[in-house]
A and B are shown apart, each in its own frame.
Chain A
Amino acid sequence: MSRQVVLLQGNEACARGAIYAGCNFFGGYPITPSTEVAEEMARMLPKHGGKFIQMEDEIASLGSVLGAAAAGAKAMTATSGPGFSLMMELLGYGCMAELPCVIVNVQRGGPSTGLPTKGAQADMMQARWGTHGDHPTIALSPSSIEECFTQTVKCFNLAERFRMPVILLMDEFIGHMREKMALPQPGEMEVYTHPRPKVKPAQYEHYGQDSGVGGAYANMGSGYRFNITGLTHDPKGFPTNRPDETKWKMDRLRAKIEDHRSELVMAEQEFLDDAEVVLFSYGAAARTSRHVVRQARAQGFKAGLLRPAVLWPFPDRLVTEVLRRIKAMVVVEMNQGQMISEVERANHTHTRILPALRYDGEMITPDEVMNVLEEAAR
């Protein structure tokens, strides 16, 4: 059976991807420009036997999502800047309590109320460091309507496997863009659901059965009566402030990312074999960048594109290795320079790094990027 080709908006594609991944709970609050995700989920979830609830604010939205996740749901919420700010509190709870869920942030111009109807990529650092305390972060950024679908599925798989909230960093440009896509058939894409424990309830330790990645864990109400807390806890989930148990927990959270960095690298690499100037770009800005790379090639520039789809963890090794063999890198992003600091951190070869930024709510244009590329090639 061939794939059905449909014309979809990014937000709709994200919701369709969630249903494909087996999402059965959505808790959200209306906010531009993400609202269509909630509207689509409100329509589709009951049809699939799932539950949709519009909560009283974004804190409650993520609270309901994490509660449902504790009870075994594949749960999601979607929001934008101001709502994402409110969610910072419970994002940390999700990391600490190791509850899988997907948080979609359709980024708009900020700070504060900012530009509700216009796009930006300015929550990149908030996604990484917005909640207090050391914690792991996984964040993906789609660059097409098809990726809004496929990356949402991927986010659910990663959340289930890594037992943590996974963030989909969309932006208004992609969220409201319409594009055709071929819908994956059932079974075509991997859908991962965490295995349930096989040990007897008396032997069960909610955080003691696995390394934190890919293991079995129980849902509330399944016969395993365990405790979940946002306090630092021991392998059984009971609060502790013992230094040895605290270190165990913090190392466990850190290892989720550090021990699995290579599996979390997902990047499009175009013309990198002989490239002298490489555009580093993601999300909507990468659409402009891809166009510019092809245009530059046609004009005789040895240009290339590095487009990470997973932004957190940052693909340090890949960026270091690319920087080692090129003349210059142009970081194209729609903010005042956020991921560029990560690129600079990965630069061990004093390679030239130039910013191509736009932060007035409009899409960065090919001309703007081309000008910086030409300067970089000099």
Chain B
Amino acid sequence: MKMHPSYEMLRPAKKFPTVWCPGCGHGIVQGAIIRAVQRLGLDRDEMAMVSGIGCSSRMPVYVDFNSLHTAHGRAIAFATGVKLHNPKLHVIVVTGDGDALAIGGNHFIHAARRNVEMTVILMNNMIYGMTGGQYSPTTPIGKRASTAPYGHAEPDFDACSLAAASGAVFAARGTVFNAVELEKLIAQALTKKGFALVEAVSPCPTLYGRLNKEGNAVKMLQWQKENTINVKAAEKLPPEKVAGKIVTGVFHDVDKPGYTEIYDRIILKAQGKE
């Protein structure tokens, strides 16, 4: 019997099966992260996976890295402390739309501004899954949630624009339908020296799909397939042709010194060595 390539990076004896519902996209994101880490040949003893609270934030339990499952919204604050104290660690933050952009929004923008070296994988399913389908900062206006029974009244956040505007060095979006592209984007993000965001659009058939009558998991993936447009193609189209579609690809990619690199120079200065 051939072993699944992800198997060696998992903790199957511990807490499997996962908490994720059948048809949830988060397992595909987990697979893409593991393949990206394997592709780059990173040592898992030097990988730290940090998360907050929510469905996506359960991932650190399943992946055999150094793992830190923190409080709701606070993953990036914890990750900042981990990275500053031990800059050798590759820090991956796994988070959701509510965790990163609502309760954790302040930590998100400030870590991006500081350019703390971490890869943030934001699994965006446009809903609070774990608590039963309440609207999140990425629920599109007009869509239904258990707390928006008549349709959602608020516009949604664009996490990639937010990260880029806040000072991140990398911001990209992929979908779980195109897991190959997602893996490439994550691998690219992992090589950046600074705050790098990959938003992974991940379907929640159990809650978002059911409340919005979008069908089962297969139909939701089919929708992703038919409604995704690459950023380069989208740039050539008028806005009305892009509206309502998932734009994927790399939105922002720059190079500048990361926080720990700058702080190392501050230490030298304080010690009179520079």
Q: Which residues of A contact B (CB under 8 A)?
A: 24-25, 27, 46-47, 49, 51, 53, 55-57, 59-61, 63-73, 75, 89-90, 93, 220-221, 223, 225-231, 236, 238-239
Contact of B270 among A47, A56, A66 (CB under 8 A): A47
A55 lies within 8 A of B267 (CB): no
A66 in contact with B267 given A60-B107, A90-B71 (CB within 8 Å): no
Could you tell me if A46 and B44 are in contact, using CB atoms closer than 8 angstroms? no
Contact of A46 among B45, B81, B88, B270 (CB under 8 A): B270
Task: Decide if B162 is an interface residue (CB 8 Å cutoff).
Answer: no
Instruction: Check if A64 sits within 8 Å of B45, measured CB to CB.
Output: no
Q: Find A56's partner among B71, B110, B271 (CB 8 Å cutoff).
A: B110
With contact pairs A46-B266, A63-B74, A90-B74 given, residues A53 and B69 touching in the complex (Cβ less than 8 Å): no
Are A71 and B89 closer than 8 Å at their CB atoms? yes
User: Which B-chain residue is minimally distant from A218 (CB atoms)?
Assistant: B66
Could you tell me the distance between the alpha carbons of A53 and B88 in the complex, rounded to whole angstroms? 18
Task: Please name the residue on chain B nearest to A24 by beta carbon.
Answer: B85
Which residues in A have their C-beta under 8 angstroms from that of B80?
27, 53, 55, 60, 63-64, 67
B78-105: which have CB < 8 Å to A?
A: 78-86, 88-89
* Residue numbers in A under 8 Å from B85 (CB-CB): 24-25, 51, 67-68, 71-73, 75
B106 contacts partner chain A, Cβ-Cβ < 8 Å:
yes
Contact B67 A227 (CB under 8 A): yes
Determine if A60 and B89 form an interchain contact, defined as CB atoms under 8 angstroms apart.
Answer: no
Q: Is the CB of B15 within 8 A of A238?
A: yes
Cβ of B77 and Cβ of A55 under 8 Å apart? yes
**Chain A residue, CB-CB nearest to B50:** A67
Other 16 A-B pairs with CB < 8 A, given A69-B81, A71-B81: A49-B267, A53-B80, A59-B77, A63-B71, A63-B77, A63-B80, A64-B78, A66-B81, A67-B50, A68-B82, A71-B82, A73-B81, A221-B46, A225-B65, A227-B69, A229-B60
Q: Across the interface, which residues of A come within 8 angstroms of B60, CB to CB?
A: 227, 229
- Can you show 18 pairs from A to B with CB atoms below 8 A apart? A46-B266, A46-B270, A53-B80, A55-B77, A55-B110, A60-B80, A63-B80, A63-B81, A70-B81, A75-B81, A75-B85, A93-B71, A221-B89, A228-B67, A229-B60, A229-B68, A239-B61, A239-B69
A67 touches B71 (CB 8 A): no
Instruction: Report yes or no: B61 in contact with A227, Cβ–Cβ below 8 A.
Output: yes
Instruction: Choose from A53, A65, A220, A238 the contact partner of B66 (Cβ within 8 Å).
Output: A220
Which A residue's beta carbon lies closest to that of B108?
Answer: A56
Residue of B nearest to A27 (CB): B81
CB distance from B156 to the nearest CB of A (A): 23
Report the Cα distance A228→B81, complex, angstroms: 15
Main secondary structure on A side of the interface with B: mixed
CB-CB under 8 A from A47, the residues of chain B are 270-271
Residues from chain A with a CB closer than 8 A to the CB of B79 are 67
Mostly helix, strand, loop or mixed at chain B's interface? helix
B86 with A228: CB separation less than 8 A: no
B residues near A (Cβ < 8 Å) are: 14-15, 44-46, 48, 50, 60-61, 64-71, 74, 77-86, 88-89, 106-107, 110, 263, 266-267, 269-271
Question: Could you say which residues of chain B place their CB within 8 Å of the CB of A27?
Answer: 80-81
Tell me the bound Cα distance from A220 to B78 in angstroms: 12
Q: How far is the CA of A25 from the CA of B89 in the complex (A)?
A: 16
A56 to B111, CA, bound (A): 9
Query: Given A49-B267, A60-B106, are A238 and B61 also a contact pair (CB < 8 Å)?
Result: yes
Contact indicator A225/B45 (Cβ below 8 Å)? yes
Of chain A, the residue at the smallest CB distance from B271 is: A47
A44 to B88, CA, bound (A): 23
Quick check: A68 and B81 within 8 Å, CB to CB?
yes
A15 → chain B closest CB, angstroms: 15
What's the minimum C-beta distance from B30 to chain A, rounded to whole angstroms?
15
Q: Out of A90, A221, A238, which one reaches B14, CB within 8 Å?
A: A238
Rounded to whole Å, the gap between the CB of B95 and the closest CB of chain A is 13
The contact of A221 among B48, B61, B266, B270, by CB within 8 Å, is B48
Which of A25, A66, A223, A236 is the one whose CB lies under 8 Å from B78?
Answer: A66
CA distance A361 to B74 in the complex (A): 34
Return B215 CB to nearest CB of chain A, in Å.
32
Which of the residues A59, A64, A227, A230 comes within 8 Å of B84, measured between beta carbons?
Answer: A64
CB-nearest residue of chain A relative to B263? A51
Interface centre among B61, B86, B107, B271 (most CB of A within 10 A): B86
How far, in whole Å, are A70 and B85 apart by their CA atoms in the complex?
9
Residues of the A chain whose Cβ atoms lie less than 8 Å from the Cβ of B70: 63, 66-67, 93, 230
What's the Cα separation between A75 and B86 when bound, in Å?
Answer: 13
Query: A362–B160 Cα gap in the complex (Å)?
Result: 52
Q: Which of A60, A72, A89, A230 has the most CB of B within 10 A?
A: A60
Separation of A228 and B79 alpha carbons in the complex (Å): 13
Closest chain B residue to A57, Cβ basis: B106
Tell me, rounded to whole Å, the shortest Cβ–Cβ distance linking B240 to chain A.
38
Query: Known contacts A63-B74, A227-B60, A229-B61; is A68 also within 8 Å of B84 by CB?
Result: yes
B74 to chain A: which residues have CB within 8 Å?
Answer: 59-60, 63, 89-90, 93
Q: B67 is contacted by which of A24, A60, A225, A230 (Cβ under 8 Å)? A: A225
